[in-house]
Amino acid sequence: MTYCFYVWYIDRKICLDNDEMAVWRDYSKGRIGVAEFMRRAMSILRYKGVPRGRLYSVAMHILGLYEERRYTARLVIVDFDWTGRTEYCKRSGHHMVTECNVTGEFECIEDVFYKRENEIRDRLAESLWECYKMFLEEEYVFIRESSTSEGFSRFEITKHTEKEGITELSYSIHSASFYRANECGGAMRHLEYYDEKLTAYMDDAVSGFIYWLEVECGFHE
């Protein structure tokens, strides 16, 4: 995560990456002493072009802004459409075909997303799939699947934004629909009365994923 601080009296925005920010964080939490803090902080600020004579005051000013969470973080909003499908057609009388479509969005720290997009997408896919299986088992008497397919037809950044003092990442499920065919050749019908329950399951899945993402983004120390 990149943390950006506006230092009004030198009229500059100073951005620190996670490793640089750790110097202020460690001092704030008492993990390092003042001498080490000043030495490392001033070295970072000197490298970022803060003028001599201002290094000490800017380091302390950033410390104050950090502790009051008055920094901005660059975020991306990622939209996704996910489909999961299971099929069991081996024994007559036990036919079962199911499908679920989930659309939603989540926030992520911009630089974390760019560095780890594949891992983030795989993690979300795994969470949704595990949760869908759980939904089938718990709500539907799941029969062992003989064929499955799952995937994202959409997983893309739709917006870039900045937020001040961010402490958590938001997400939302836009829709979750459940379909079923009771016979292998039968029509896939949308069972609307399951949608609310499925939405709750998928909300849990994305919520767990978001917690993991927040840890990866440097929240929840």
Q: Are 97 and 89 in contact (CB under 8 A)?
A: yes
The size of the interface with other proteins (CB under 8 A), counted in residues, is 30
Q: In the set 151, 160, 162, 215, which binds other proteins (CB under 8 A)?
A: 151
Q: Which of 150, 195, 203, 204 binds other proteins (CB under 8 A)?
A: 150
Which member of 152, 211, 212, 219 binds other proteins (CB under 8 A)? Answer: 152
- Segment near other proteins (CB under 8 A), from 27-35, 50-58, 122-130, 206-214? 122-130
Task: State residue 9 phi and psi, 5-degree precision.
Answer: -80, -10
Q: Which is nearer to other proteins, 92 or 167 (CB)?
A: 92
Smallest distance, other proteins to C-beta of residue 214, A: 21
**Of 43, 42, 2, nearest in space to 21 by CA:** 2
> Is residue 140 within the footprint of other proteins (CB under 8 A)?
no
Report the candidate in 85, 77, 75 with the shortest Cα–Cα distance to residue 154. Answer: 77
For residues 178 and 194, what is the distance between their CA atoms, to the nearest angstrom? Answer: 6
- Residue pair 109/73 in contact by the 8 Å Cβ criterion: yes
Does position 125 bind other proteins by CB under 8 A? yes
> In degrees to the nearest 10, what's the CA dihedral of 109, 115, 119, 123?
0
In the complex, least distance from residue 131 CB atom to other proteins, rounded to whole angstroms: 10
Compare residues 57 and 147 and give the one whose CB is closer to other proteins.
Answer: 147
Would you give the DSSP letter of residue 50? P
Contact 89, 182 (CB under 8 A): no
Q: What token pair was written down for 106?
A: 């989540």
Which of residues 6 and 212 has its CB atom nearest to other proteins in the complex?
212
By CB under 8 A, is residue 181 in contact with other proteins? yes
Does residue 149 interact with other proteins by CB under 8 A? yes
Smallest gap, in angstroms, from Cβ of residue 216 to other proteins?
18
DSSP 174: E
Contact (CB, 8 A) for 159 and 150: no
Find the binder of other proteins among 6, 77, 101, 203 (CB under 8 A).
101
**Binding interface with other proteins (CB under 8 A):** 81, 83, 85, 97, 99, 101, 118, 121-122, 125-126, 129-130, 148-155, 177, 179, 181, 185-190
